[in-house]
């Protein structure tokens, strides 16, 4: 695991152990609560950049990197969203980036209407956690790792960006309209899809036989970060 520093609240630095091979994050104690909005965006960036090579979902039976004890599979609810992680009662937790996004409310399960819209546009998406293909005609969750099909939560992300822009208003020159547009589900599908298809030659995910990775979360984060850098 790589130790990466992120901006925390009150000028602190939060160091997070990141496993890019399994898309996993280790949080000591309550570290996860201490990330500042800028730290959250930087973590999005780090995970998005390496997502193309990250595949393996977490497997139970791993041991705690601090005490060596066996990590326990735990499931929890936050604002109605279920998420799971591997926890050590005394040291912290190991959580996939996807489950962390669920815990923090950055992603949500699409409404029945949104899901119908998604199905009308694409037959298959890739699991946001393990990249396995999900056939939308027959499933709303991944058959390999059980991660539910999810989309970015516009409200929660906008909130984070607002907190950030309040602090760094001039410097970052955020374009709210573009961001809002980038996060809309329609945009995910119509524009990003075509762009990803065009880029397919560069980013083949041959293992699953797809020319591009149709992961709504990763595509959404890509658009968000691109808009953010402008």
List of residues contacting Zn ion (CB under 5 A): 64, 66-67, 69, 88, 91, 127, 129-130, 132, 142, 144-145, 147
Kindly tell me the burial class for residue 13, based on how many C-beta atoms sit within 10 Å of its own C-beta (0-12, 13-18, 19 or more): exposed
Nearest CA among 45, 6, 42 for reference residue 223: 45
Kindly tell me the burial class for residue 18, based on how many C-beta atoms sit within 10 Å of its own C-beta (0-12, 13-18, 19 or more): buried
Shortest Cβ distance from residue 93 to Zn ion (Å)? 10
Nearer to Zn ion, 47 or 127 (CB): 127
Nearer to Zn ion, 70 or 186 (CB): 70
Shortest Cβ distance from residue 114 to Zn ion (Å)? 20
Nearer to Zn ion, 16 or 40 (CB): 16
CB 211 within 8 A of CB 200: yes
Q: What are phi and psi for residue 72, nearest 5 degrees?
A: -105, 130
Nearer to Zn ion, 99 or 153 (CB): 99
Shortest Cβ distance from residue 221 to Zn ion (Å)? 17
Q: How far apart are CA 41 and CA 7, in angstroms?
A: 10
């Amino acid at each position: 695991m790589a130790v990466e520093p992120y901006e925390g609240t009150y000028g602190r630095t939060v160091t997070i152990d990141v496993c890019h091979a399994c898309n996993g994050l280790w949080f000591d104690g309550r570290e996860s609560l201490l990330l500042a909005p800028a730290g959250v965006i930087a973590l999005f960036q780090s995970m998005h950049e390496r997502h193309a090579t990250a595949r393996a979902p977490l497997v139970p039976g791993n041991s705690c990197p601090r005490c060596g004890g066996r990590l326990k599979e735990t499931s929890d609810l936050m604002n109605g969203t279920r998420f799971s992680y591997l926890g050590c009662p005394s040291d912290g937790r190991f959580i996939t980036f996807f489950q962390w996004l669920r815990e923090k409310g950055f992603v949500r399960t699409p409404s029945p209407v949104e899901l119908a819209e998604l199905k009308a546009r694409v037959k298959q998406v890739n699991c946001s956690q393990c990249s396995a293909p999900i056939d939308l005609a027959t499933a709303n969750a991944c058959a390999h790792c059980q991660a539910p099909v999810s989309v970015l939560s516009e409200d929660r992300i906008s909130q984070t960006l607002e907190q950030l822009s309040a602090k760094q208003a001039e410097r970052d020159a955020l374009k709210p309209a573009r961001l809002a547009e980038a996060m809309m589900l329609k945009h995910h599908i119509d524009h990003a899809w075509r762009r990803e298809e065009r880029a397919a030659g560069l980013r083949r995910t041959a293992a699953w036989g797809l020319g591009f990775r149709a992961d709504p979360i990763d595509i959404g984060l890509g658009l968000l970060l691109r808009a953010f850098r402008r």
